[in-house]
Amino acid sequence: MNRIRIAIQKSGRLSERSLELLQKCGLRFVRSKDKLYWYGQDFPVDLLLVRDDDIPRILLDGVCDLGIVGQNTAREVILEDDSRELEELRRLEFGGCRLSIAVPEQSNIKEISDLNGCRIATSYPALTEDLLQQRGIKAAMVKLSGSVEIAPGLGTADAISDLVSTGTTLRANHLVELGVLFESTAALYGQRGNLPAEKQTLLDRLLARLDGVLQAAESKYVMLHAPRNAIEEITRLLPGAEHPSLMNLESDPDRVALHAVCRETLFWEHLESLKGAGASAILVLPVEKMLG
Ligand code: ATP
Ligand code: ZN
């Protein structure tokens, strides 16, 4: 059966953005009644909606070909199983968070290097242990599947290693962040190894579309008028732009219309320096899709 199956989180922080990303790649799904399996309509790609923690093993078991999950979750499984079979295919631009060490406000642990011999409560014991070991620290892991932040108060751990995005939960539990062990985002994973040729072709097509969507997300289409003698300088000032298109202006032989795609973020400072170099009528437009 030459269909690709993708696992995404059923409901949680990654669900909406995962689905949105796949829809931007042109995928449409028939939502089944039990809501766990969605059939792909125009493109032979189906969805399986599961708990995020199950996604790495679903890939390793060959139940799905691709999965979108946090790097934190995938790395934990890779370390736990000592498995190199899981391959990160693309890093995605959502689901950003950090795995941080935090301690009670009154703790005498003041920095990460004080953690030697301490007990650390975490849902990511393998990842935490590995990251601490890289810094030459040996600590005991207390594995908890949730509510990690209450462990120090209960006396079951001296510190925690947990996912943080704003720090509100830490403050509410009178914990202070000592330092960041790992910066995570969501990523697209697959299993290493050979796919049947037809499936590989399908996967390549999907990845090309995905790259197009990811590139378009940070790209902008810029249109402006420039003095003929400043074209070179203005092109240099456009971040990540190559080969602008130039068009003559009927109204002014000394100026040209210049169009370019900027593949990097365009800040107000960029526009100001373009203006300073003589550009006028500067327009910045979002790019929806890109291919080739
Ligand atoms: P499930 O029911 O699917 O197991 P969950 O509660 O384990 O859900 P979520 O809280 O939805 O999972 O988090 C999923 C992923 O979102 C995390 O593994 C992490 O990669 C990312 N994430 C982003 N910001 C945060 C945050 N502030 N706290 C926790 N996870 C975050
Ligand atoms: Zn989970």
| pLDDT tens by residue, the chain, 292 residues | 689 999 999 999 999 999 999 999 999 999 887 789 999 998 999 999 999 999 999 999 999 999 999 999 999 999 998 778 999 999 999 999 999 999 999 999 999 999 999 999 999 999 999 999 999 999 999 999 999 999 999 999 999 999 998 899 999 999 999 999 999 999 999 998 878 899 999 999 999 999 999 989 889 999 999 999 999 999 999 998 888 999 999 999 999 999 999 988 888 999 999 999 999 999 999 998 888 7
Q: Ligand 1: residues whose CB is within 6 Å?
A: 9, 12-14, 51-53, 70, 72-73, 95, 97, 163, 165, 184
The number of the ligand 1 atom at minimal distance from the alpha carbon of 70 is 20
What per-residue confidence (pLDDT) applies to 32?
80
Nearest CA to ligand 1 atom 2: 51
The first and second tokens of residue 224, run together, are: 């402006």
From CA 80, how far away is CA 181, in angstroms rounded?
17
Domains and CATH numbers, the chain: 4-95+186-216 (3.40.190.10), 97-183 (3.40.190.10), 219-286 (3.30.70.120)
Q: Using the 8-state DSSP alphabet, how is residue 11 labeled?
A: S
Between CA 99 and CA 5, with CA 50 as vertex, the angle to 5 degrees is 110
Ligand nearest to the CA of 94: 1
Look-up of token digits 């953690």: 115
The number of the ligand 1 atom at minimal distance from the alpha carbon of 185 is 20
Nearest CA to ligand 1 atom 24: 97
Nearest CA to ligand 1 atom 19: 70
pTM: 0.87
CA of 256 to the centre of ligand 2 (A): 55
The arrangement of strands across the sheet holding 220-227 comes to 245-248, 255-262, 220-227, 280-286
